[in-house]
């Protein structure tokens, strides 16, 4: 459950330089330690955000799944104009406010949130999943379709095989094969979870497709929202 007392507030109106300084300061607040058993987690959410083809209007969705029944229990949605500029490495400052707004509409609280983006595997070790975890006060995992930083080796072709992403001699994430012979995903902890629990949870949620089912459903949801608006 969210830790209300430990949630951080994301300031508005920051410049890119101030945002980078905030990432460095917040990194000290991350807890990359296991607080849940990925085999026992039941309520898992996926978060995704989509943009209009032109402009700064965005759509966020959070889908909460029951892993035991496979049922979709809740969907949180939010949309609005993004005020922070597009700067590589600072995407969280564009996306987290809408994700936070979507999270606030949920009636069913997830135990953990999977984010379509980076977690610790980030140049300043403060990707979207890390920022979202600190703001929402919930365990988070980053699961990205592409690598942002770090040296990688391709894992073996079998499902479940992985290699470490390494940056400056530090292990920052994993290149994980979720389906046999299919392109891997890039998994890293966000907040209140460790590397191996993050990997196990992604594998548990990615049984039929490359992406974990909660993220896949959130992706479909935001695309539907964007098309409905005509973007």
- Is residue 120 over pLDDT 60? yes
Task: Tell me if 176 is assigned to some domain.
Answer: no
Average pLDDT rounded to a whole number, residues 183-190: 98
- pTM for the full predicted model: 0.95
- Is residue 225 over pLDDT 90? yes
Domain enclosing residue 25, as ranges = 18-144+191-229
Task: Tell me if 165 is assigned to some domain.
Answer: no
Average pLDDT rounded to a whole number, residues 105-126: 98
What does the pLDDT look like over 152-167, one tens digit per residue? Answer: 999 999 999 999 999 9
> What sign does the dihedral 223-2-87-118 (CA atoms) show?
negative
Q: How far is CA 3 from CA 30, 92, 138, 189, in A?
A: 13, 20, 7, 17
What pLDDT is stored for residue 55 in this prediction? 78
Task: Tell me if 181 is assigned to some domain.
Answer: no
Residue 123 pLDDT level (bands cut at 50, 70, 90): very high
Task: Evaluate whether 127 touches 92 at the Cβ level (below 8 Å).
Answer: yes
Q: At what angle do helices 128-136 and 91-104 cross, to 10 degrees?
A: 40
Average pLDDT rounded to a whole number, residues 61-72: 97
> What is the spatial distance between Cα 187 and Cα 165, in angstroms, rounded to a whole number?
9
Residue 5 pLDDT level (bands cut at 50, 70, 90): very low
Task: Tell me if 174 is assigned to some domain.
Answer: no
What pLDDT is stored for residue 159 in this prediction? 98
Round the average pLDDT of the chain to a whole number and report it.
95
Q: How far is CA 8 from CA 60, 91, 103, in A?
A: 20, 17, 15
**Strand residues in 67-161 grouped as ranges (E):** 72-81, 112-115, 140-144
- The DSSP-derived string for 193-207 is --HHHHHHHHHHH-S
- The DSSP-derived string for 95-121 is HHHHHHHHHHT-SS--SEEEESS-SS-
CATH classification at residue 41:
3.30.2170.10
- Is residue 8 over pLDDT 60? yes
Task: Tell me if 115 is assigned to some domain.
Answer: yes
Task: Tell me if 37 is assigned to some domain.
Answer: yes
Cα 141 to its chain centre, rounded Å, is 5
For the chain, the domain total comes to 1
In this prediction, what percent of the chain has a pLDDT beyond 70?
97
Whole-angstrom distance between the N-terminal and C-terminal Cα of the chain?
Answer: 35
Among residues 222, 215, 220, 170, the alpha carbon closest in space to that of 64 is found at 215
Task: Tell me if 159 is assigned to some domain.
Answer: no
What pLDDT is stored for residue 1 in this prediction? 55
What pLDDT is stored for residue 54 in this prediction? 76
Angle subtended at Cα 8 by Cα 17 and Cα 26, rounded to the nearest 5 degrees: 45
> What is the spatial distance between Cα 63 and Cα 113, in angstroms, rounded to a whole number?
9
């Amino acid at each position: 459950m969210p830790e209300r007392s430990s949630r951080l507030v994301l300031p508005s109106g920051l410049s890119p330089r101030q945002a980078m300084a905030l990432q460095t300061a917040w990194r000290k607040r991350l807890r990359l330690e296991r607080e849940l058993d990925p085999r026992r987690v039941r309520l898992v959410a996926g978060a995704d955000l989509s943009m209009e083809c032109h402009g700064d209007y965005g759509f966020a969705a959070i889908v909460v799944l029951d892993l035991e029944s496979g049922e979709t229990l809740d969907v949180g949605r939010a949309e609005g104009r993004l005020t922070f500029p597009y700067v590589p490495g600072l995407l969280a400052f564009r996306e987290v406010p809408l994700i936070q707004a979507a999270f606030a509409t949920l009636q069913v609280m997830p135990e953990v949130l999977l984010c379509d983006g980076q977690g610790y595997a980030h140049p300043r070790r403060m990707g979207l999943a890390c920022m979202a975890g600190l703001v929402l006060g919930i365990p988070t995992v980053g699961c990205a379709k592409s690598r942002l930083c770090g040296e990688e080796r391709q894992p073996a072709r079998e499902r479940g095989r992985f290699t470490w992403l390494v940056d400056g001699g530090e292990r920052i994430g994993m290149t994980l094969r979720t389906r046999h012979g299919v392109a891997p995903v890039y998994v890293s902890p966000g907040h209140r979870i460790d590397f191996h629990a993050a990997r196990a949870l992604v594998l548990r949620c990615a049984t039929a497709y490359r992406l974990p089912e909660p993220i896949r459903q959130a992706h479909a949801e935001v695309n539907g929202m964007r098309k409905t608006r005509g973007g």
